[in-house]
Amino acid sequence: MSTNETLFARAQRVIPGGVNSPVRAFRAVGGTPRFIARAEGAFLWDAEGRRYIDYIGSWGPMILGHGHPAVLEAVQKAARDGLSFGAPTEREIELAEAIIAQVPGVEQVRLVSSGTEAGMSALRLARGATGRSKIVKFEGCYHGHADALLVKAGSGLATFGFPTSAGVPAEVVQHTLVLEYNNVAQLDEAFATQGHEIACVMVEPIAGNMNFVRASVSFMKRLRELCSQHGALLVFDEVMTGFRVALGGAQSLYARLIPGFRPDISVFGKVIGGGMPLAAFGGSAEVMRQLAPLGPVYQAGTLSGNPVATACGLATLAEIAKPGFFDALAAKTRSLVDGLVGAARAAGVPLVGDSEGGMFGFFFAAQLPQNYGAVMATDKERFNRFFHAMLDRGVYLAPALYEAGFVSAAHAAADIAATVAAAGEALRG
């Protein structure tokens, strides 16, 4: 039988770093990554047959858990009909309609194959629609690995300590302004001096790539006001939060608190594909008509709207739209976070946490961080020790301080209780 160690050694001979996405390498926490053989419900099994309670959920898509019967049935039927056509299908329309039905600010969407592709395309669309070049992003927010957005991007870059990526010329990012998350004064200054040049502001409404940090209501309200006043587009990156923190995404949460609030362009991924490679970006019909073949902004993709991926996404969205789904998921996630905080308190360890819907985060700190600098000041070494102690006890958390976690509908109360009990042992050890 192959072990995690032998597989990792073999992988490193043929794949850079032995992984196809950097955070999987366990470089941030040390040790050998687990090679997953299969998954079911709330659990993963590695190559050695060991079972783990899964709080990664493929980094967010598996909101129903692994192998949900309705999703498997839809995927199997779609696969029998054909894997890819390179031509339109009715299912693409159905998925677009399902997304639009839940997100009031979106009138049309374009389907793509990854969150990076969706974010890159949304950025190009915003520049094309406004005729401007400058963009604003926030330190610690990750919007995929497109060159113009790969500046102080948190997540995997934070894991390795790089403020940006090699291979990105200075000329490419000269129009990217990077501000501090939740800093209203910096927003005001940027728009006062360069507002007429700013095409868009791209933001994670709840940042999931510096762990879990939510934008304050005052920050989001001012962001919307400034974009409207200066003719810039507000781009919500809901790749992680969309259909995960609420049925209408994070923007529906802010709309309850800020009258008339909605972004101009929204970017979705993960949950809308149900675990298959699928993402989307959308906005008003006026903005979206700038895309080819109607307008001058070019975007295309051979596998966009893939028939198997859209079947998977449709089946997932149908399940999460059932009454009471998000209430139950949010209560379950909150019970996990409350349990972790309680276990830490009992052990005399400073730990804070937060959650929304099925997304959560925790920090070894006295208070919740509001920006990337505060996240970096939390106790990374304690997190690393805690990660391995939990892994040893059969609980699979994200292998980096800078990543949010995810709970699925498949997690039972007993799984949450087992996780909290494991945390108590790990924190006392």
* Alpha-helical runs (H) found in 110-153: 115-130
* Among 134, 137, 270, 332, the one annotated catalytic: 270
Residue 36: enclosing H or E segment and its boundaries?
strand 36-40
In Å, how far from its chain's centre is CA 282? 17
Q: Among 46, 54, 237, 264, which one carries the catalytic annotation? A: 237
Q: Is 126 helix (H, G, I), strand (E, B) or coil?
A: helix
338 is catalytic: no
For the record, the structure tokens of 355 come out as 């959650």
User: Rounded distance, CA 350 to CA 344, Å?
Assistant: 7
Catalytic site residue from 142, 254, 372, 402: 142
Decide if 396 is catalytic.
no
Q: Determine the residue type at 63.
A: I
137 as an active site residue: the answer is no
Pairwise CA distance, residues 340 & 352, whole Å: 9
Q: Which backbone phi and psi does 189 adopt, to 5 degrees?
A: -65, -45
User: CA–CA separation, 108 vs 407, rounded Å?
Assistant: 30
How big is the chain, counted in residues?
429
- H or E segment at 319? helix 307-320
**Hunting for tokens 């690393």 — which residue is that?**
384
The distance from CA 31 to its chain's CA centroid, rounded to whole angstroms, is 25
What gap in Å lies between CA 122 and CA 128, rounded to an integer? 10
Q: Give the active site residues.
A: 142, 237, 270
